[in-house]
């Protein structure tokens, strides 16, 4: 078998072998095979190879069909997404890879200029590179430089009239003892900065569903153990229907009334989770702020 064939290259892209220490020598091949099988990477490579070479919309549609997941707009709320012009979509992140692939598919059916800020490891999906703006969630100096470049690229994309999808939680929803609920962590204030600098409307989107009980239990033991199960979770949502609900558009004027970045992130997160209670949520709720807070923010902007 030709090791340089497209099929083998796609499989190698989904392997742990390159990350194993060189000192393992001949042990690296059998060890990586065990790890790839356990983590679900071999199956993921097979899913990828089946859809390889297609355009982003056909690729995401085919991948979802292969893993037997229906990812769709749950009602006519998809009409809240503008068909053109700069726009930021913020969403919760209940599943992981599935959310990125599914959102690309749903939004590309609405408009063609869609990009998603996502974990740079998803770049292994070669066909989706044109729709991803990669971020590095693992920290360190390299991550800071990488992410700064990504934010500037995202800002330019939106300013040029494109639609940008962000998962501000930064990690997959998990069980929280304090609230006794499965939800995103606190949202990063970076989304507030981007919304302010681009001055475009923001649409909150709620993605229904969650990962398995095993995923939640693993996270209680250690976050990295939970992360190691993400590929398996991607593959094991067979025959599920995942509905996406878009909330009312939030104007730049509404966000400008909120005094600081952390408050804006909390506001957007709250708007997103309120969509789940669709009978009581029809428009973005308003926040009353004292004049002193608003004056402080205006002065900070001038500086």
Range of the domain at 17: 1-52
**Mean pLDDT in consecutive groups of 10 residues from the start of the chain, 303 residues:** 43 74 80 87 92 94 96 92 97 95 96 88 82 71 64 94 95 91 92 94 96 94 91 94 96 93 95 80 55 52 50
User: Number of folded domains in the chain?
Assistant: 2
DSSP string, 71-115: EEESSGGGGGS-SSS-EEEEE--SSSHHHHHHHHHHHHTT-S-EE
- Same domain membership, residue 2 and residue 112: no
Measured CA to CA, the distance from residue 135 to residue 191 in angstroms comes to 13
- Same domain membership, residue 85 and residue 67: yes
- Same domain membership, residue 174 and residue 80: yes
- Same domain membership, residue 21 and residue 113: no
Long-range contacts for 272-276 (Cβ within 8 Å, ≥24 apart)?
Answer: 272/90, 272/91, 272/92, 272/204, 272/205, 272/206, 272/247, 273/92, 273/183, 273/206, 274/247, 275/204, 275/205, 275/206, 275/245, 275/246, 275/247, 276/206, 276/208, 276/245
Q: Which residues pair with 206 in a beta bridge?
A: 245
- Same domain membership, residue 140 and residue 34: no
- Same domain membership, residue 69 and residue 213: yes
Burial class (CB in 10 A: 0-12, 13-18, 19+), 301: exposed
Q: Which of 32, 52, 72 is the last residue of a domain?
A: 52
- Same domain membership, residue 61 and residue 34: no
Three-state DSSP at 5 gives coil
- Same domain membership, residue 240 and residue 136: yes
Contact 45, 29 (CB under 8 A): no
The pTM assigned to this predicted structure is: 0.84
- Same domain membership, residue 207 and residue 88: yes
Q: What confidence score (pLDDT) does residue 26 get?
A: 79
The structure tokens listed for 291 are: 């004049």
- Same domain membership, residue 173 and residue 38: no
Which DSSP state fits 250? B
- Same domain membership, residue 293 and residue 184: yes
Q: Which of 34, 52, 70 is the last residue of a domain?
A: 52
Q: What confidence score (pLDDT) does residue 170 get?
A: 86
- Same domain membership, residue 162 and residue 48: no
Q: What confidence score (pLDDT) does residue 187 get?
A: 94
What CATH number is given to the structural domain containing 283? 3.40.1130
């Amino acid at each position: 078998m030709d090791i340089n064939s497209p099929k083998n290259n796609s499989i190698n892209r989904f392997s742990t072998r390159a990350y194993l220490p060189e000192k393992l020598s001949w042990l690296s091949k059998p060890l990586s095979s065990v790890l790839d099988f356990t983590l679900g990477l071999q199956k993921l490579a097979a899913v990828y190879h089946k859809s390889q070479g297609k355009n982003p919309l056909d690729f995401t549609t085919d991948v979802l069909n292969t893993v037997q997941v229906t990812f769709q707009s749950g009602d006519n709320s998809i009409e809240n997404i503008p068909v053109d012009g700069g726009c930021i979509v913020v969403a919760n992140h209940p599943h992981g890879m599935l959310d990125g692939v599914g959102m690309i598919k749903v939004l590309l059916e609405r408009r063609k200029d869609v990009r998603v800020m996502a974990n740079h490891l998803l770049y292994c999906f070669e066909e989706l590179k044109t729709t991803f703006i990669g971020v590095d969630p693992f920290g360190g100096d390299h991550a800071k430089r990488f992410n700064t470049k990504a934010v500037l690229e995202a800002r330019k994309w939106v300013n040029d009239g494109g639609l940008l999808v962000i998962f501000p939680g930064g990690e997959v929803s998990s069980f929280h003892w304090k609230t006794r609920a499965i939800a995103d962590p606190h949202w990063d204030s970076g989304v507030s900065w981007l919304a302010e600098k681009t001055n475009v409307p923001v649409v909150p989107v709620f993605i229904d569903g969650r990962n398995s009980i095993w995923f939640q239990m693993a996270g209680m033991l250690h976050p990295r153990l939970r992360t190691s199960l993400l590929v398996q979770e991607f593959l094991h949502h067979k025959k599920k229907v995942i509905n996406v609900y878009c909330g009312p558009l939030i104007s730049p004027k509404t966000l400008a009334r909120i005094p600081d970045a952390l408050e804006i992130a909390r506001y957007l997160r709250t708007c997103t989770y309120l969509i789940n209670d669709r009978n009581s949520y029809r428009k973005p709720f308003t926040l009353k702020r004292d004049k002193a807070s608003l004056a402080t923010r205006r002065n900070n902007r001038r500086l």
